[in-house]
């Protein structure tokens, strides 16, 4: 299969979600329920199974994780570094800057599984588990209306972090899942990929926004072009394995997280702006993600 066509099934599911949302007979509560089911049950099952059953190269894995963290922190820095060029738009920055460094976990795992099956998912789970706290803390700080209130508790209750850490501990202790348990988790995990991508499509919002176009374009460019380029450069410099290089570059090239919209609305930000940026980055990533795959190879 051509590298450019490798991601076609996944983007087809996103398109299906967009069509179902607009033309299907489904309520907002239905889509909210799907999102919660995927996030709290199906997605967590996939992460735990992957990290609990994969054997990692401890030395190389640390450099791999460090690369992912540097990419995220660079996204945080760059998203605010452009602020002096857009004076008078403080509220826009508090709301929209997070879209330049937060990432869509559903698309991440779908791509990782497409590239390398369970091994790819396990590596991507490590990046997600270590970078979710970094990106969430930076986003909350940017929207600092409520400061740090509830942030630590939210991290400790985050199912993505709990599942990844739990799987790693299970793995480190040398434990083995009974076959009926691993099969059940595998079924749940398989469902998470399809439903997660459909939910991404249902959440697309491309309504117009009054924010400066140069500012919006800068955030999208940082997320989809600058960060994966940085990831690729670091991966080559640190001599990461081929699979680690693929996964970390795809991690850097992911579109923005749909949860960024929820955070912005809950903390008094501009929800419509964030929804627009998430949608734009997701649509453009249909072209940029295959491009990065081609460049890696």
109-159 pLDDT per residue, tens: 889 988 888 889 889 988 988 888 788 778 877 775 444 445 566 667 778
**Weakest-pLDDT range from 47-51, 90-94, 207-211, 288-292:** 207-211
| Level-2 CATH architecture, domain 3-296 | Up-down Bundle (1.20)
Q: Which residues contact 91 (CB under 8 A, 6 or more apart)?
A: 269, 270
pLDDT of residue 228: 97
Q: Is 16 helix (H, G, I), strand (E, B) or coil?
A: helix
The overall average pLDDT reported for the chain is 85
pTM of the model: 0.81
CA–CA gap between residue 262 and residue 51 (Å, rounded): 28
208 by Cβ neighbours in 10 Å (0-12 / 13-18 / 19+) ranks as: exposed
User: How far apart, in Å, do the first and last CA atoms of the chain sit?
Assistant: 14
CA–CA gap between residue 2 and residue 68 (Å, rounded): 27
Count of C-beta atoms within a 10 Å radius of residue 207: 8
Inter-residue contact 140 to 175 (CB < 8 Å): no
CA–CA gap between residue 177 and residue 292 (Å, rounded): 36
Q: Is 169 helix (H, G, I), strand (E, B) or coil?
A: helix
Buried b (16+ CB within 10 A) or exposed e, 55-93: ebeeeeeebbbebbebbbebbbebbeebeeeeeeeeebb
DSSP letter at 223? I
CA–CA gap between residue 193 and residue 184 (Å, rounded): 15
CA–CA gap between residue 17 and residue 19 (Å, rounded): 5
pLDDT of residue 149: 45
pLDDT confidence band for 3 (50 / 70 / 90): low
pLDDT of residue 147: 42
């Amino acid at each position: 299969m051509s590298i450019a066509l490798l991601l076609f099934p996944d983007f087809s599911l996103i398109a299906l979600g967009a069509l179902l949302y607009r033309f299907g007979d489904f309520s907002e509560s239905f889509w909210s329920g799907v999102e919660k089911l995927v996030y709290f049950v199906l997605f967590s099952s996939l992460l735990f199974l992957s990290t609990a059953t994969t054997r990692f190269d401890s030395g190389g894995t640390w450099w791999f994780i460090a690369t992912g963290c540097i990419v995220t922190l660079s996204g945080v820095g760059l998203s605010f570094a452009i602020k002096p060029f857009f004076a008078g738009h403080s509220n826009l920055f508090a709301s929209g800057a997070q879209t330049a460094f937060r990432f869509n976990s559903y698309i991440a795992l779908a791509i990782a599984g497409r590239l390398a099956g369970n091994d790819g998912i396990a590596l991507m789970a490590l990046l997600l588990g270590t970078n979710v706290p970094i990106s969430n803390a930076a986003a909350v700080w940017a929207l600092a209306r409520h400061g740090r209130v509830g942030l630590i508790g939210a991290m400790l209750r985050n199912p993505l972090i709990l599942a990844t850490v739990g799987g790693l501990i299970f793995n480190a202790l040398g434990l083995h899942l009974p076959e009926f348990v691993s099969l059940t988790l595998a079924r749940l995990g398989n469902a998470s990929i399809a439903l997660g991508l459909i939910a991404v499509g249902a959440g697309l919002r491309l309504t117009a926004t009054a924010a400066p176009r140069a500012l919006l374009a800068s955030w999208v460019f940082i997320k989809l072009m600058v960060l994966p380029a940085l990831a690729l450069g670091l991966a080559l410099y640190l001599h990461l394995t081929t699979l680690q290089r693929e996964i970390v570059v795809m991690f850097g090239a992911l579109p923005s997280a749909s949860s960024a919209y929820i955070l912005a609305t809950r903390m008094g930000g501009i929800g419509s702006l964030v929804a627009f940026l998430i949608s734009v980055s997701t649509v453009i990533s249909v072209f940029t993600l295959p491009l990065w795959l081609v460049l890696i190879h």
